[in-house]
Protein backbone atom coordinates (compact mmCIF):
# COMPACT_ATOMS: atom_id res chain seq x y z
CA UNK A 1 0.00 0.00 0.00
CA UNK A 2 2.86 2.38 0.76
CA UNK A 3 4.39 1.66 -2.64
CA UNK A 4 1.11 2.54 -4.38
CA UNK A 5 0.89 5.77 -2.38
CA UNK A 6 4.46 6.65 -3.35
CA UNK A 7 3.79 6.01 -7.04
CA UNK A 8 0.58 8.07 -6.97
CA UNK A 9 2.29 10.95 -5.17
CA UNK A 10 5.13 11.06 -7.71
CA UNK A 11 2.61 10.94 -10.57
CA UNK A 12 0.58 13.72 -8.94
CA UNK A 13 3.65 15.93 -8.61
CA UNK A 14 4.60 15.33 -12.25
CA UNK A 15 1.09 16.05 -13.54
CA UNK A 16 0.81 19.27 -11.52
CA UNK A 17 4.13 20.43 -12.96
CA UNK A 18 2.90 19.66 -16.49
CA UNK A 19 -0.16 21.88 -16.18
CA UNK A 20 -0.11 25.11 -18.10
CA UNK A 21 0.23 28.35 -16.22
CA UNK A 22 -3.20 29.99 -16.34
CA UNK A 23 -2.01 33.30 -14.92
CA UNK A 24 0.22 35.43 -17.09
CA UNK A 25 2.01 36.82 -14.07
CA UNK A 26 1.90 36.50 -10.32
CA UNK A 27 1.56 40.26 -10.01
CA UNK A 28 -1.83 40.10 -11.77
CA UNK A 29 -3.08 37.58 -9.24
CA UNK A 30 -1.98 39.67 -6.28
CA UNK A 31 -3.07 43.04 -7.66
CA UNK A 32 -6.37 41.74 -9.07
CA UNK A 33 -5.68 42.71 -12.64
CA UNK A 34 -7.72 40.94 -15.30
CA UNK A 35 -10.52 39.79 -13.00
CA UNK A 36 -12.12 37.45 -15.52
CA UNK A 37 -8.91 35.56 -16.25
CA UNK A 38 -10.39 32.14 -15.54
CA UNK A 39 -13.95 32.93 -16.54
CA UNK A 40 -13.68 32.74 -20.31
CA UNK A 41 -10.92 30.20 -20.70
CA UNK A 42 -12.05 26.67 -21.50
CA UNK A 43 -9.80 23.67 -21.30
CA UNK A 44 -9.64 21.52 -24.39
CA UNK A 45 -7.74 18.45 -25.49
CA UNK A 46 -4.63 17.66 -23.51
CA UNK A 47 -5.29 20.46 -21.00
CA UNK A 48 -8.66 18.94 -20.13
CA UNK A 49 -7.14 15.46 -19.79
CA UNK A 50 -4.36 16.71 -17.51
CA UNK A 51 -6.85 18.63 -15.39
CA UNK A 52 -9.08 15.58 -14.97
CA UNK A 53 -6.11 13.31 -14.29
CA UNK A 54 -4.91 15.72 -11.60
CA UNK A 55 -8.31 15.62 -9.92
CA UNK A 56 -8.44 11.81 -10.12
CA UNK A 57 -4.93 11.34 -8.73
CA UNK A 58 -5.58 13.84 -5.95
CA UNK A 59 -8.79 12.06 -4.93
CA UNK A 60 -7.06 8.67 -5.10
CA UNK A 61 -4.18 9.99 -2.98
CA UNK A 62 -6.65 11.31 -0.38
CA UNK A 63 -8.61 8.04 -0.25
CA UNK A 64 -5.49 5.89 0.09
CA UNK A 65 -4.19 8.13 2.89
CA UNK A 66 -7.51 7.76 4.73
CA UNK A 67 -7.49 3.97 4.29
CA UNK A 68 -3.91 3.70 5.51
CA UNK A 69 -4.76 5.84 8.52
CA UNK A 70 -7.63 3.58 9.59
CA UNK A 71 -5.68 0.34 9.14
Q: Where are the domains of the chain?
A: 2-70
The number of CA neighbours under 13 Å toward the Cβ of 26 is 0
DSSP string for residues in 22-41: -SS-HHHHHHT-STTTTTS-
Nearest residue to 28 (alpha-carbon basis) of 36, 19, 16: 36
Q: Among the residues of 1-71, which ranges form H helices?
A: 2-18, 26-31, 46-70
Measured between alpha carbons, how far is 67 from 51 in angstroms, rounded to an integer?
Answer: 25
Report pLDDT digits (tens) over 9-60.
999 999 998 887 665 555 555 665 555 555 566 777 888 899 899 999 999 9
pTM: 0.69
Amino acid sequence: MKTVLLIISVMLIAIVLLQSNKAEGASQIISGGNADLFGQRKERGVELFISRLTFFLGALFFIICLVMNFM
